Amino acid sequence: MKANVSTLSIASFAIIALTISGCSSDEPMATADSGVPIDMARTDTGVAGDMAVPTDTGVPVDMAALVDMGVVPVDMAIPVDMAVTTDAGGPMCGNGIIEGAEECDDSGTTPGDGCDGDCQSEEVRTAFRITSMHILDPHAFLSIGACFDGTDLLNGQLDGTITGDDNTDGNYDLSIALSFLPLDPATAATNVQVSFPDCLATTGGACTETPADPVPQAGIAANMSTGTCLTPVEGTTRASYGTIDLPMGPCFQANFGTTTFDLNGIAVTLRDTRFAAEYSGAPASELVTGLVQGFLTEADAEATMIPESIALVGGMQLSALLPGGEGNCRSGVSDDDRDTYSDGTTRGWYFYMSFEAETVTSYTAL
Does the pLDDT at position 67 exceed 70?
A: no
CA distance 22 to 20: 5
Find out whether 231 and 254 touch, Cβ atoms under 8 Å.
Answer: no
Q: How far is the C-alpha of 7 from the C-alpha of 5, rounded, in Å?
A: 7
* Contact between 195 and 179 (Cβ < 8 Å): yes
What pLDDT is recorded for position 47? 45
Q: Over the chain, what is the mean pLDDT?
A: 82
Each domain of the chain, given as residue ranges in start order, spans 7-85, 93-122, 126-364
pLDDT tens by residue, 12-46: 444 434 444 444 445 444 444 444 444 444 444 44
More confident residue, 175 or 332: 175
Pairing mode, strands 363-364 and 207-208: parallel
Tens of pLDDT along 130-157?
A: 999 999 999 999 988 899 999 999 999 8
Q: What percent of the chain has pLDDT over 70?
A: 75
Question: 110-115: long-range contacts at Cβ-Cβ below 8 A with a sequence spacing of 24 or more?
Answer: 114/182
Residue-level pLDDT at 73: 64
Number of helical H runs and strand E runs in the chain: 4, 16
pLDDT(326) > 80: yes
Q: How confident is the model at residue 7 (pLDDT cuts 50, 70, 90)?
A: very low
pLDDT score, position 65: 58
Does position 116 have pLDDT exceeding 70, yes or no? yes
Look up the pTM and report it: 0.70
Which of 251, 318, 304, 277 is CA-nearest to residue 132?
277
Residue 98: band (very low, low, confident or very high) from pLDDT cuts 50, 70, 90:
confident
DSSP output for 255-282: EEEEEEEEETTEEEEEEEEEEEEEEETT
Give per-residue burial for 77-116: e unless 16+ CB within 10 Å, then b.
Answer: bbeeebbbbbbeeeebbbbebeeeebeebeeeeeeeeebb
Quick: pLDDT tens for 223-274: 999 999 999 999 999 999 999 999 999 999 999 999 998 877 788 999 999 9
